């Protein structure tokens, strides 16, 4: 199978190569074009950033994006993920980006010959999100080795937390987690958020994923923000160079005080910009058989 499914099987050297190419695309130093090619974005879960930044990346690479809306499609007639992807392959697209709620959904697609780009699978992986997070950190520090990062919030339900932690540890970052006990797992060593804001170079906030919770949270939004959210008061205790990242969408007033989203330490909107360049890098490397 061609494409990008998980970073757990991609070497650290190759990850650095992807980030380096994304930075060159961003600086306008590298230009490539694939006229005549088309790719479809098949999102079986909601998305704004991933779906449309993949489409922007395609447009910048001269590839025609083809949208698919699960509403109004033949999914309602019982068509499977496999048959939907095979249909787009038969229609002649040169690759597909897929987001699906099933962990490792791509293992069911091993007879598909066109490249598949994972736009997020279940609670497992979101490889291009991890890459754009890393690119944003690299732009800030010019290295990964030795940086302290804390993943904050809903670790248990987050594919971003699990994917980021695996790669960040491999890149020799010191990874910690913070949040309510019921949202933590064994991803990394636990810190309190107040310890984390004073210690860490990167605070990696995560969205509280209400749609993945089987039980209602035992606290209201204001209580969550006070105990586990990034407030301006906590920002004031961060190290001078430290930054805040968040995959978004953000729950303003829950895991992040609204004013923090656009404060001087926040890189949340810069991450979205970087997402386009990371996706350009991933698409072009797969099309050139370099990934
Ligand atoms: N960060 C992210 O995956 O956002 P979307 O769900 O909007 O794609």
Ligand 1: list residues with CB < 6 Å. Answer: 47-51, 120, 129, 247-249
Gap between the Cα atoms of 56 and 64, Å rounded = 10
Output the six-digit token pair for 183: 């949202």
Gap between the Cα atoms of 286 and 114, Å rounded = 10
Question: Does the structure show a pLDDT above 80 at 155?
Answer: yes
- Ligand 1, pocket-test mutation among 49, 160, 212, most atoms within 8 A of CB: 49
Question: Does the structure show a pLDDT above 80 at 218?
Answer: no
- Averaged pLDDT, 118-122: 95
Gap between the Cα atoms of 245 and 16, Å rounded = 19
Reference 282, options 12, 17, 9; nearest CA is 17
Please give the residue range of the domain that contains residue 142.
127-271
Question: Does the structure show a pLDDT above 60 at 117?
Answer: yes
Is the same domain home to 92 and 213? no
- CATH code of the domain containing 215: 3.40.50.1370
Among protein residues, the one with the nearest Cα to ligand 1's atom 4 is 49
Phi and psi torsions of 253, nearest 5°: 90, 0
Q: What is the pLDDT of residue 23?
A: 98
Is the same domain home to 183 and 154? yes
3-class DSSP assignment, residue 64: strand
- Give the pLDDT confidence of 79-95 residue by residue, as tens digits: 999 999 999 999 999 99
Give 280's contacts (C-beta < 8 A, 6+ positions apart).
22, 25, 57, 60, 61
Is the same domain home to 142 and 236? yes
Report the atom number in ligand 1 closest to the C-alpha of 50.
Answer: 8
Is the same domain home to 74 and 95? yes
| pLDDT band with cut points at 50, 70 and 90 for residue 211 | low
Burial of 199: CB neighbours in 10 Å, binned 0-12, 13-18, 19+? middle
Question: Does the structure show a pLDDT above 90 at 219?
Answer: no
Q: What is the pLDDT of residue 215?
A: 61
Is the same domain home to 206 and 110? no
| pLDDT band with cut points at 50, 70 and 90 for residue 157 | confident
Output the six-digit token pair for 180: 């309510």
Is the same domain home to 111 and 224? no
Is the same domain home to 106 and 150? no
Question: Does the structure show a pLDDT above 80 at 224?
Answer: yes
Is the same domain home to 135 and 119? no
pTM over 0.85? The answer is yes
- Average model confidence (pLDDT) for the chain? 95
Question: Does the structure show a pLDDT above 80 at 286?
Answer: yes
Is the same domain home to 169 and 215? yes
Gap between the Cα atoms of 16 and 250, Å rounded = 28
Number of domains within the chain: 2
- Averaged pLDDT, 287-291: 97
Structural element, H or E, at residue 43: strand 38-43
Is the same domain home to 192 and 96? no
Is the same domain home to 163 and 258? yes
Under 8 Å between Cβ of 267 and 136: yes
Give 146's contacts (C-beta < 8 A, 6+ positions apart).
172, 173, 174
Is the same domain home to 171 and 194? yes
Give 8's contacts (C-beta < 8 A, 6+ positions apart).
125, 163, 166, 167
Among protein residues, the one with the nearest Cα to ligand 1's atom 3 is 50
Query: What's the CA-to-centroid distance between 263 and ligand 1, angstroms?
Result: 21
3-class DSSP assignment, residue 226: helix
Give 231's contacts (C-beta < 8 A, 6+ positions apart).
225, 257, 260
3-12, 137-146, 153-162: lowest mean pLDDT where? 153-162
């Amino acid at each position: 199978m061609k494409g990008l499914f998980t970073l757990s099987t991609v070497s650290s050297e190759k990850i650095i190569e992807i980030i380096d190419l994304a930075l060159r695309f961003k600086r306008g130093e590298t230009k490539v074009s694939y006229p005549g090619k088309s790719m479809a974005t098949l999102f079986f879960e909601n998305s704004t950033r991933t779906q449309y930044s993949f489409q922007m990346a395609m447009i910048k690479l001269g590839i025609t994006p083809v949208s698919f809306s699960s509403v109004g499609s033949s999914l309602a007639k019982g068509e499977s993920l496999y048959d939907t992807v095979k249909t787009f392959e038969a229609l002649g697209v040169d690759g597909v980006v897929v987001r699906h709620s099933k962990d490792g959904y791509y293992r069911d697609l091993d007879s598909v010959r066109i490249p598949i780009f994972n736009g997020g699978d279940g609670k497992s992986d979101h490889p291009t999100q991890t890459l754009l997070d890393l690119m944003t950190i690299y732009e800030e520090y010019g290295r990964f080795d030795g940086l302290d990062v804390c993943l904050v919030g809903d670790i248990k339900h987050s594919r971003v937390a699990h994917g980021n932690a695996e790669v960040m540890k491999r890149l020799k970052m010191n990874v910690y987690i913070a949040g309510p006990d019921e949202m933590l797992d064994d991803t990394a060593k636990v810190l309190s958020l107040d310890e984390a804001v004073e210690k860490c170079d990167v605070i990696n906030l995560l969205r509280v994923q209400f749609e993945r919770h089987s039980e209602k949270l035992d606290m209201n939004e204001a209580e969550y923000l006070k105990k586990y959210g990034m407030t301006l008061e906590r920002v004031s205790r961060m190290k001078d160079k430290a930054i805040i990242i968040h995959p978004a969408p953000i729950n303003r007033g829950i895991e992040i005080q609204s004013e923090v989203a656009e404060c001087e330490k926040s890189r949340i909107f810069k991450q979205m910009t970087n997402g386009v360049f990371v996706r350009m890098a991933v698409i072009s490397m797969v099309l050139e058989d370099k990934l």
